[in-house]
Amino acid sequence: MKTETAMLDETRRRLQDWGVWVRSGGVNSGYAAVQLAAGVGGCTVPDDEALAVDQAVASLKKREPDLGKVVLAYYVRRWDYSMIGLEVKMSREKVRVLLRSAEAWVDGRLFQ
């Protein structure tokens, strides 16, 4: 049985892969595009894996918009905590807490 830390590490890896997929044109900020782009721009993330994460993030954005903004800024835009904090007007520590909460939420959606 995987430990909680190992499961969250897997979710973070999937979120990183999803960010690559989004940047390669596979999706539009949390909602799947009609035309999938796996393989475009060097993206090797399987569409089915990226779509599962995309659906989880889209649900998160609807339910908790601040968490969705933090996930997009960190994994898609690749901003650090300070940059995100300036954008959403909160401290680095608050950004870190929100990001960890968002990762746990996505983890719950992916591994129910």
> How do residues 64-94 score in pLDDT, each as one tens digit?
999 999 999 999 999 999 999 999 899 999 9
3-state secondary structure of 32: strand
Q: What is the predicted pLDDT for the residue at 35?
A: 39
Q: What is the predicted pLDDT for the residue at 28?
A: 53
Handedness of CA 76, 6, 82, 102 (dihedral sign): positive
Q: Residue 27 has which token pair? A: 């999706």
Q: How confident is the model at residue 98 (pLDDT cuts 50, 70, 90)?
A: very high
Query: What mean pLDDT comes out for the span 10-37?
Result: 73
Q: What is the predicted pLDDT for the residue at 34?
A: 36
Higher pLDDT, 9 or 112: 9
Higher pLDDT, 76 or 27: 76
Cβ neighbors of 59 (< 8 A, separation 6 or more) are: 109
Q: How confident is the model at residue 40 (pLDDT cuts 50, 70, 90)?
A: very low
